[in-house]
Chain A
Amino acid sequence: MPKSLRKILSALLALSFLALTPAGYASQKTTITVFAASSLADSFTYLGKAFEKSHPGTSVLFSFLASPSLATQINAGAPADVFVSASGKDIQNASDRVPIYQGYVFNRVVLAVPVKNPFKIVRIRGLNTPGVKWIQCAHEVPCGVAADAALSSDGTVTSKPVSLEPKSASVIAKLLLGEVDAAIVYHTDVVKNRKALKEIVFTDRLASSTRYAIGVVSDTKQKALATSFMDYVQAPKAILYLRRSGFGVIS
């Protein structure tokens, strides 16, 4: 073995020992795994931490991806305890393992533009301006389904997106990175990035909306904890937080 390679290997070995120190070592905590739509990443990370605080000795692990991908993984036996999808259809597709679920908060897609707004887009049909690069979610994922419905209900947009992104988080990331001039994103993404983005809403609120759904995976080994997490995120305090983050709730 070359000397340099040996040095690198021993450095890596030392590094992996660091992971065993208390900070990286998962202690005797009870853990639940929550599969949640990528649009929930920020708010659920926050709610998860709050849940851990109010339930000492527990820890919540999240997997944030596009809802159809999460449904596929759950159907393939992924070790999830709770599933929160961004649409009813996706949780239905996982109904073998999530037979019972409830409607949850709402979200709606809006047209978001950077505050600088180089193309001065102020209406939905501003997307037709020559040279504007805009993106949306793929047709298969909830944010894409809502975007398609909102655009077709609006009926003024004739230009095509330059990319159909696999999940809502990738759309907002590319818009914030400045790679595109506009994007159809969730209202909650704009709320989170108020300083950087402006939004233009679709007049058809129903078409542009999606309703999240939440359910416990039936064969979970942590039924009690999973159920109390589900209750926690549906309690008034959590709902108030979600509403402040831009989600819609039935009052």
Chain B
Amino acid sequence: MTLHKVDKLTGTLAVLASFFIIAPMFALLVKVPWGSFLHDLAQTQSKQAITLALWTSILAACICVLLGVPLAWVLARGNERVTNILRPIVLAPIVLPPTVAGIALLALFGRDGLLGKYLYQATGWSVPFTSIAVVITGVFVGMPFLALIVESNFRHIPKDLEDAAVTDRASRREVFSLVALPQIRNGIATGAVLAWARALGEFGATMMFAGSLPGRTQTWAMEVYMQMDLDMGTAYTLSAVMLVIAVAVVFALRKPLTQAFSS
């Protein structure tokens, strides 16, 4: 599409829309105290929070791929009567407030939770306040993104390909793992990166479910919140790096994302 196809009013509104999105991010970058940038990042608190956020979110993304790809396959090829109900439920966390996610996770995994109760009685161990709780939160908020993208990719695979495989006596699992999976490697990568980014940024649910302890459960996003009351400069610095990551992720994924959402 070229620019002369856009009328003036629509163009102005579009500029306004971009302003609302771009200006705050720009302002954030302006406010970063670049002089102490590296020093702020090298603080023990910052380093601990970044390290923890990175490994927990990467682990969460891996779990999302391991379980979410099969889920996406079921959503794409399963019995429609089931998938039509299952799909909106598993995608719900995308629009769920983080606080609701936090309460829900406590209700299941907490010491008095539906599952957590038995786990605690049997082992004396409970999930909240552990790094595992951070990972579980990441899986909960990230999985829907992976399922959404990967299902869309599965749907784009030409049916004849699967039909041909079936005529060649491929088993159901072979159709999935040998025919469908290799076709959507890019889609899986896209979904994984989105799930990872979502897990990396989760804040409210994590704080409610996992608590906040430096090195164990205090993540990058939480550290930004804590630093706001301590040292605004460090808060800006930590936020700026996250912003750059976010923009880089979307930039790297611009093609597969447009593909996944078109059709």
Which residues of A sit under 8 angstroms from B228, Cβ to Cβ?
69, 72
Measured between alpha carbons, how far is A177 from B102 in the docked complex, in Å? 13
Interface of B is mostly: loop
**Count: A-B pairs, CB below 8 Å:** 57
B interface, size bucket: 20 to 34
A179 and B207 in contact, given A140-B226, A166-B225 (Cβ under 8 angstroms): no
Measured between alpha carbons, how far is A69 from B110 in the docked complex, in Å? 28
Flag if B129 contacts A135 (CB, 8 Å): yes
Interface size on A, residues (CB 8 A): 21
A170 to B: closest C-beta gap in Å: 8
Residue A113, interface by CB 8 Å: no
Flag if B129 contacts A164 (CB, 8 Å): no
Flag if A140 contacts B212 (CB, 8 Å): no
Flag if B211 contacts A174 (CB, 8 Å): yes
Measured between alpha carbons, how far is A133 from B120 in the docked complex, in Å? 12
Flag if A164 contacts B214 (CB, 8 Å): yes
Residue B137, interface by CB 8 Å: no
Chain B 126-168 interface residues, beta-carbon cutoff 8 Å to A:
126, 128-129
Residue A48, interface by CB 8 Å: no
A-contact 0/1 string along B221-233, CB 8 Å cutoff: 0000110111000
Residue B244, interface by CB 8 Å: no
Which residues of A sit under 8 angstroms from B225, Cβ to Cβ?
166
Residue A236, interface by CB 8 Å: no
Flag if A72 contacts B229 (CB, 8 Å): yes
Residue A66, interface by CB 8 Å: yes
Flag if A179 contacts B126 (CB, 8 Å): yes
Residue B111, interface by CB 8 Å: yes
Chain B 11-54 interface residues, beta-carbon cutoff 8 Å to A:
none
A66 and B229 in contact, given A163-B212, A166-B212, A179-B126 (Cβ under 8 angstroms): yes
Measured between alpha carbons, how far is A71 from B232 in the docked complex, in Å? 13
Measured between alpha carbons, how far is A165 from B212 in the docked complex, in Å? 6
20 A–B contact pairs at CB < 8 A? A68-B229, A69-B229, A72-B229, A131-B124, A133-B129, A135-B129, A138-B212, A162-B129, A163-B210, A163-B211, A163-B213, A164-B211, A164-B213, A164-B214, A164-B218, A165-B211, A166-B207, A166-B212, A178-B112, A179-B106
The 3 closest A-B pairs by CB, nearest first: A163-B211, A68-B229, A162-B129
User: What is B's interface to A at a CB cutoff of 8 Å?
Assistant: 106, 110-112, 124, 126, 128-129, 207, 210-214, 216-218, 225-226, 228-230
18 more A-B residue pairs beyond the given contacts A140-B230, A174-B211, with a C-beta to C-beta distance below 8 A: A69-B228, A72-B228, A133-B129, A138-B212, A138-B226, A140-B229, A162-B211, A162-B213, A162-B216, A163-B210, A163-B212, A164-B212, A165-B211, A166-B225, A174-B128, A177-B110, A178-B110, A178-B111
User: What is A's interface to B at a CB cutoff of 8 Å?
Assistant: 66, 68-69, 71-72, 131, 133, 135, 138, 140, 161-166, 174, 177-180
